[in-house]
Structure 1
């Protein structure tokens, strides 16, 4: 009786993947540990040391505000910046990222004031520098918190030495930039209508304002014609023609003198500030007479009124009257008219001239614009454009100050100011609620019979983005920088800025036109704010607003700021200290306003890019949200052009805003907000970063549970590809295979790496990250997992150690791993670090590596073109076998041995010399020329390939599971194929 041979466990003889790199990432737990490790090992310093001497690439960080936890917008912004700096660092640059924070200004000051109010404490009773100290401590606390939150996102930078606008050196440099502007004559004190927050008691810049829908009072007001001059002089002549002309002119004159010009406004409270009426000579106007009236107050039959013809009927309906057109009114006639103020009985006895203005339209209202130069930019500009002509007519051109900083009328508003019955009316109260100003003005207009109609309207109105309360336009003395003053070299600040925009690269390109339009239209730059926390406008001025020009005084100021910070300006005895007895202290007064925080952030390029030896000026790129065309991009451009004549950046990249999954704005009240902290705690920072990379970030993007899950699924596919490569490379001995010795399939994969290298580098250069992710993900999922790896698994698992094909595959997989992990490293720093160290535990960090150098010989168009044909035929075979599996005629493709009919000579040629069964993952295959039988499987794409599914003949190999006729041909290994028998023999010999 013979013994039964012991059954061999062939799975132990296969080179199956082996790795400790887990399928489940566990990112929420691993990432904080990795971030702590990077901090402990000093990764940032190692990066700087490794890049020493390289060409610098600098992305200058736009400073977030230090007053709260980071939100999804911060995460989007910082991830984009991190990916850019990492990608340039890994491409041979010294790409240093220095984070920064904006620390001054109203939001922080407001928080401290709220704390005071809770304690019943008055801010004005606290020494100013004590108050500023509390603001400084508040900002520093949030800098510390945000710094940790940014690091948790995987952001790498100089967090131990960031820049802050409140650092003493920063405040000294900001002050220095202001003094440069002052000494060059660009700074002046003026009076203009600006946006004013009654709630916060300060001027606001356009960038500090957002728009929200409100319902407002709207009124139509009659301005009685008082005089008609110039254009209606009686014409001379003889005889009947002269008499006829005189009669016609006299009639026209009398008609106008009996009429009223009607304006429309949504701000009744600005009527006391009215000084003119604007019209457009391009609009058709008419003189109308009321024939019927059914209103409770206002216009009555017989009254004559002037309207834009297009708007007359609508106005009549509002006032519940019926009109008839008396005649057309020309632009020349309108220009000759002077009106009386509708509140003349209250003391507004001045003449109200008519001004021709391009800003007037007949889209809504009456075709006339009530012009109050104290309360609107266009009103102010229309008034100033006509100052000389008005003065020649004897009109007082002084612009009044009708409203004070608390929203009350002043004595410049007779009948409504402090001496009026009932005291001063108020536009807005301390909580941003409407005061009694509108009602009192409308009541007065009714009393004088000059209110034509009234109503309510919903419209967009400016609000402070901090307090969320409405603002008003009011004329105030402020400090400005000229936009159009000639600067001694034939340029102005505006022309310099426009020239700089033309020389700047914008991504996306539309940002250039947006910023250009803003610069073209913007008024002079308002620098002053009436607050306490910030860098002061550290100049001395006389009563006329002239600035003291003394470099020795300036030097003393800057020296003090460098040592003590801007608090030195507010310290006791500061005036005497800085003037040092060299100037008349009675004549020269310290300005107590502070600088607009946009000037602070607009100056950051000076104390970061210029002053830090690890950076350079100008920056290669600024990157922020698209709102910063009117914010940081804008103020940085103006500040730098004012002091250096060019922009502080070479390129501007903008991103959109993150909306909820349904496209609506994220809102706590709607419960649709997504926080970065929540995503990181549940899924990991790399998932959040992958979402950023997958978005069209140039536009507004969306985020929610479904979108996060989509990115988790995408991440898993990438991770599984990396995991399989790591497992396979556990058997790699690092053999280098000459390119000429590689099989064609391996050459194809290297060609694809050469193509991807171009896509990746171009994508990083163009900040087009979605293109990179899509290309690499598709490659990993489609060309690797579903094609190359699938084909080569048999070779990798089963071939003998000496197999050139196997060693070639390992060589190529090593290159694939290196390329994919390094290319993905800027985007997913945690996962790629884990993979890199799993491959080589002795490595320091993937982030200290460079992108791989792709040899020129890898690019092989001939192989690529040939394999397009190979893959086309393979798709036909795969399609046929899929049907066989579905019909359960085969279990796996290794049970098949199809006959493939190829009628295309070029396709047939492409298959020559290839083991096509291996490529199709079948046990055998027969390729023949010709059309093939009609019942054979064909694809619908027109490929001239027909497939007859056949079953493989022979015995199933116990080791590779291929069905072949040579199983048992080696007597030492009776249940495996000859190939597998050779592999087993080599393995046995290697084992000794």
Structure 2
């Protein structure tokens, strides 16, 4: 610029804002948290929303025993997205966070502390022990509450629900008593998954499967009553649990399997079989089994139909052993079983009904419950009455293999009761807490019968718990994703009765009494007294469940009407899943901020909760309410590292929420959730987080441009859409379209869809198109020009839409953006609703026209980019291209808009003439060609357009528009 040329920079209306480009979220987010707490913003939202239709997301309680992991963050952030978006959509969205406080993990931690001090848990008074468990849980609740709040999660953090609160313990007991009073509760003796390490029964939800190396043995059973060629034959079973052989009571076969009689002709030198011996196998498995037993030659004598096994009796392999005193000298019947296959083994299944669910069901079907065994104790040790094996353990206290398997195998060898052995690596159940292997063990336990009619008169959806649950799944619940329905339906359809009892100390006891000397099948076995129940519940409300363990508790609760000597007090505690399954009662039903009908609009947890909380809540509520406690269920996947591997501390690939918030801020973690497809497993790691941070920066720049462009905006500037140029009306059309999609997306919990729509709109349609075009108008037009007023009006509308649309996701950043424009002690974006969008903003014909305008613009900008790359021009304002458009309607449309402004050129020529050969074209936009021409004239020193009239006005080196603006 020449020295005598004026500097017009100060005459431009450049964006002005204090909103920083660098967010500094780790430092600033705690300031907003403190501000919201001071404002009591959650209560302000409740006051504002009074009278609206409630939306209740019932929080599945995390366990109070450790710092949060990334899965916790994913779960709570998703919940927060829903609560905040539902509130801004016009509902009264309440959120009561809660914690699961009872159960084995906490008890296990206290036991570990005792062991380190050389103390024995059983020597500590039970109430003292329970108080230590309570204190431990309280400590972790405070830690986790702080960590959850740091993620920007809104809710009643000062008044959460805890399963160990006295009222909660009272209601849990009360809900259990409903099972007692309606006849659903029973004591049964059946095999349950048992942890020898933790010495308690486990539910399926408390078990996980890991690879385990097991013994395998092939054991022959001789027939006792067979004739013909079967008289000397032996039927062979295969098992991976040798320790269960002493409890064998039957051999099962399959009616659909083809069997054969096989003769051993020759063997290797070392073999437990001999030439001439006859064995029965499934035909498909015979060769493999004989090979395992080192048979080198064999002959198939004949086929055997399964019907030949009907009525046959076998002898136990230990039958007649010296020193056994006849312990195994009983009949072992052949039984048909649907569970028998010829996929592996021998085609016959060793059946020990005390140590296997399918084995047990075979005996239940035949009413053979008197044949159950009680051979294994709570430490997986053989009990004293079992010959040869008394005291030997399957697994020791540390979960390592004991001597039971190897000793049983040795005794089989001694008795001639084995033809082969080996080892196999297979998936085996382990306790998800101690990570130790479990066993199936027959013990007296308390069950909820899910196929017994519930005597409560709530039969709308079925008479039994199973019927009510399956009907609820199909008729009452919306599943997100829909696959969740199939998973839970199949689980409940096939599940056994619910094991309610645990042999532990920390939890809510089974508040019932059993009659001394009565059998579980007797009508008066259980005391069913409303008066006794009322006394128990009153005590629990005042003192908590510790009241059950206080001296004189039995006499206190039975009162004067029941002779204490006639009843025994039950001291098992309830399955912790019954606790969490009961939360609908003491949270949704009992709290003033709960649900009017005790039913939640949504339960949201990970996919593992189909066998956990979704499952137990369904069963529990169907037993007490007669239906599901929720109208909707949403499930999310698990978190993996960047390579798709499961996170593990040992692998060093974990990502903690605390680390992310310290480095990037919670909004980056929230944005990661929004960008991810939560219905599948989600990956996270350093590179992924860098990408998320980049997306955040682009969004932040969009909001910063809006703030700068709106500096000083007043209502006096606002224009009605009817007065606006087409470009602004096109933006309003897009806002109307987006408003519809955002509302549908938030309602469908499609946060990824919502974010993608908004991110593309901000970065492609606003930053790269609308903002780019309107910078000239904003900077250079007179303040009272229609174009500038229209642009600023639209930007104000954009501001209110984008901040409210994005607030549920970018909770902290949108608060910062909002306060930059609307500071004040009571100001907050989170007190706003998503603004209503006028229907007349939608303008499909205008949208179609501008779609064509943008298509042609893309060809022009691509042509100019070639010239820029080749250094022909430095900026697009140096160009005045000729645009050849074959389509007459498209050409006519382009002539009705200031197309040079749309293309950010100083001039443009539109023509219907055929494009010359040298014209620039894009393959996907036929009929449009661009011939580059430089702009004619001088450069305006204010707006930088190159125009012929520059230098002909009163203000030196300006164009007509800038001259008039300067006055």
TM range, normalised to the smaller chain?
A: over 0.9
With normalisation by structure 2, the TM-score equals 0.97
Once the two structures are superposed, what CA deviation does each residue of 1:73-99 show, in whole Å capped at 9, x if it has no partner? 100000000010000011111101000
**1:339-385 deviations in Å (ceiling 9; x for gaps):** 11111123311111111111111111111111111111111111211
Task: Give how far 1:305 is off.
Answer: 0.6
Give the number of equivalent residue pairs. 944
Q: Write the distance in 2 (CA, Å) between the matches of 1:836 and 1:844.
A: 8
Alignment of 1:649-664 (within 5 A): 649-664=630-645
SS at match of 1:227: coil
1:280 pairs, out of 254, 258, 261, with 254
* Aligned pairs (5 A) from 1:478-877: 478-488=445-455, 489=459, 491-503=463-475, 504-542=477-515, 543=517, 544-545=519-520, 546-616=525-595, 617-734=598-715, 735-842=717-824, 844-877=827-860
Distance change >3 Å, CA 191–CA 902, structure 1 → 2: same
- Corresponding position of 1:221: 219
- 1:403-414 alignment to 2 at 5 Å? 403-411=376-384, 413-414=386-387
Deviation at 1:411, TM superposition (A): 4.4
Contact map agreement 2:855 2:925 (CA 8 A) in 1? no
1:918 and 1:204 map into 2 onto residues whose CA distance is 72
Contact 2:7 2:941 in 1 (8 A): no
Deviations 1:244-279 (A, max 9, x none): xxxxxxxxx321111111111111001111111111
Q: Equivalent residue for 2:425?
A: 458
**What SS does the aligned partner of 2:492 have?**
helix
Whole-Å Cα distance in 2 between the matches of residues 8 and 853 of structure 1?
47
| Aligned position for 2:881 | 898
| Distance of 2:161 and 2:680 partners within structure 1 | 29
Q: Deviations over 1:748-801 (max 9, x none)?
A: 111111111111111111111100111100010100000000011001110011
- Structure 2 counterpart SS, 1:548: coil
Moved more, 961-970 or 163-172: 961-970
Which residue in the other structure is 1:469 paired with? 436
On the 8 A contact 1:15/1:731 being kept in 2, the answer is no
Q: In the alignment, which residue of structure 2 is the partner of 1:250?
A: none
Q: Which residue does 1:441 correspond to in 2?
A: 408
Classify the secondary structure of the residue corresponding to 1:221. strand
CA change 1:397–1:306 in 2 (3 A) is farther
Residue pairs, 1:391-406, within 5 angstroms: 397-406=370-379
Secondary structure of 2:262's aligned partner: strand
Matches within 5 A, 1:260-339: 260-294=234-268, 296-321=270-295, 322-339=297-314
Q: Which moved more, 1:284-293 or 1:541-550?
A: 541-550
TM-score when normalising by structure 1: 0.94
* Equivalent pair of 2:641/2:647 in contact (CA under 8 Å): yes
Shift of 1:731: 4.0
In the TM superposition, residue 415 of structure 1 has moved relative to its aligned partner by 2.8
Find the aligned partners of 1:84 and 1:260 in 2 and give their Cα distance: 64
Distance in 1 between residues matched to 2:545 and 2:289, nearest whole Å = 56
Determine helix, strand or coil for the equivalent of 1:58.
Answer: strand
Find the aligned partners of 1:694 and 1:226 in 2 and give their Cα distance: 69
1:116 aligns with 114
Which consecutive unaligned segments of at least 5 residues does structure 1 have?
229-252, 391-395, 418-423, 986-992
Alignment counterpart, residue 8 of structure 1, candidates 3, 6, 9: 6
Query: Matched residue of 2:605: which SS?
Result: strand
Is the Cα contact below 8 Å between 1:968 and 1:978 reproduced in 2? no
Q: Is the 8 A contact 1:290 1:304 kept in 2?
A: yes
| 1:837-889 deviation line (CA, Å, top 9, x unaligned) | 00111361100000011110111101100111111111111111010101111
The residue number in structure 2 matching 1:243 is none
Given the alignment of the two structures, is residue 371 of structure 1 paired with residue 338 of structure 2, yes or no? no
Structure 2 residue ranges without an equivalent (≥5): none
Which residue pairs with 1:156 in the alignment? 154
SS of the counterpart of 2:225? strand
* 1:598–1:635 CA contact under 8 A, matched in 2: yes
Q: 1:675-714: per-residue Cα shift (whole Å, max 9, x none)?
A: 0000000001000000011111111111101110110011
1:7 positional shift: 4.9
Given that 2:501 and 2:575 are in contact with CA atoms closer than 8 Å, whether structure 1 keeps it comes out as yes
Moved over 6 A (4+): none
Which residue of 943, 947, 965 corresponds with 2:930? Answer: 947
Between the aligned partners of 1:371 and 1:209, the Cα distance in structure 2 is 23
Whether the aligned pair in 1 keeps the contact of 2:184 and 2:453 (CA below 8 Å) is no
Match of 2:35 among 31, 34, 37: 37
